[in-house]
C-alpha cells in the first residue's frame, strides 16, 4: 500500500540491495524525487556542529530504512501480482495527486477481486478528491476520476502482465456542499459523504489497449462501471 505521506520533504541519495524490476526502480526513484517526510533538518541556532551532524546522520538512516521498507513492499507486490501491478500502483497514485486531490491519497493492490471474480485484480484507490454536490453530478464526478486518473495511467502502460489478468479499479472520493463550508471550498477536515465507483476491465480489452488496437475511450466502452448499487452507462462519462 502506498500513500501520499511518502511525497512530502526533500530527496536523499541512498543505496539499495533489494532486487526490483526496472519499472519498480523508476517508481522508487520517482518517490524519492518527490521527497519523503523524514523531518526537516534542525535549525542551526542553538546547536553545535557535532549535534547538527548527528541529527543529519540520524535523518539519513531513517530515510534509508523507510526506502528499503518501500522497496521491499514493491518487490512483494510484484512477486504476488506481476511487475505491471507495481506500475499501475505508481501511475494511479501520481495521477490522483495531479487530479486535484485535497485529502489523503492511497493505492492498494488487493488481489483477486471478491466482487468481480478471481480473474480480476482489484486495485483500490483513495483519490483524495472532494466534489461540490451543487456544481457536479455523479456522472461528472466519475468522468473526472476516469479521465484524470484511470485513463492516463492505463494509456501509459506498455503491458498488463498482472495476476490475475483482468482489472477492477475501485475509486473512492468524497462529496461536500461547498456553500455550507466556511471557505466555500473542499475541506478534507470537514465531514464528507464517501462515494465509491468500480471500473471492471476484461483481460482481452487490456491486451488490445497494450497492442495499440484500441484507445482508452474504446477501453471504457468495453468496461463495466457501477457505484455498488447500479450500473453507470459508460456513455455518460464521455467528455466532449
* Sequence spans of domains, the chain: 2-10+19-80, 82-237
Pairwise CA distance, residues 2 & 73, whole Å:
9
Span 217-233, pLDDT tens digits: 999 999 999 998 999 99
Beta strands in 42-116 (DSSP E): 106-113
> Which of 44-48, 188-192, 207-211, 223-227 is predicted with the least confidence, judged by mean pLDDT?
44-48
Rounded mean pLDDT, 185-208: 97
Per the prediction, the chain carries an average pLDDT of: 83
At 73, is the pLDDT very low, low, confident or very high (cuts 50, 70, 90)? confident
> Cβ distance 39 to 9 under 8 Å?
yes
Residue 232 has what pLDDT? 95
Residue 223 exposed, middle or buried by CB count within 10 Å (0-12, 13-18, 19+): buried
**Residue 123: is its pLDDT beyond 70?**
yes
| Backbone CA torsion sign across 103, 95, 35, 82 | positive
**Residue 164: is its pLDDT beyond 80?**
yes
Amino acid at each position: 500500500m502506498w500513500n501520499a505521506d511518502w511525497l512530502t520533504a526533500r530527496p536523499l541519495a541512498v543505496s539499495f540491495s533489494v532486487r526490483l524490476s526496472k519499472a519498480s526502480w523508476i517508481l522508487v526513484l520517482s518517490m524519492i524525487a518527490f521527497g519523503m517526510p523524514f523531518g526537516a533538518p534542525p535549525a542551526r541556532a542553538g546547536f553545535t556542529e557535532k549535534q547538527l551532524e548527528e541529527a543529519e546522520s540520524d535523518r539519513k538512516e531513517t530515510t534509508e530504512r523507510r526506502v528499503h521498507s518501500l522497496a521491499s513492499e514493491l518487490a512483494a507486490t510484484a512477486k504476488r501480482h506481476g511487475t505491471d501491478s507495481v506500475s499501475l500502483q505508481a501511475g494511479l497514485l501520481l495521477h490522483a495527486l495531479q487530479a486535484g486531490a485535497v485529502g489523503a491519497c492511497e493505492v492498494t493492490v488487493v488481489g483477486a477481486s471478491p466482487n468481480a471474480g478471481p480473474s480480476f485484480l482489484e486495485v483500490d484507490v483513495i483519490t483524495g478528491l472532494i466534489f461540490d454536490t451543487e456544481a457536479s453530478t455523479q456522472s461528472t464526478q466519475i468522468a473526472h476520476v476516469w479521465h484524470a486518473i484511470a485513463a492516463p495511467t492505463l494509456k501509459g502502460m506498455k503491458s498488463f502482465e498482472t495476476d490475475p489478468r483482468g482489472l477492477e479499479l475501485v475509486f473512492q472520493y468524497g462529496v461536500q456542499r461547498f456553500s455550507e463550508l466556511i471557505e466555500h471550498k473542499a475541506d478534507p477536515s470537514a465531514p464528507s459523504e464517501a462515494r465509491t465507483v468500480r471500473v471492471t476491465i476484461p483481460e482481452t480489452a487490456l491486451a488490445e489497449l497494450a497492442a495499440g488496437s484500441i484507445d482508452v475511450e474504446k477501453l471504457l466502452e468495453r468496461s463495466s462501471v457501477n457505484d455498488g448499487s447500479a450500473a453507470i452507462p459508460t456513455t455518460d462519462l464521455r467528455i466532449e
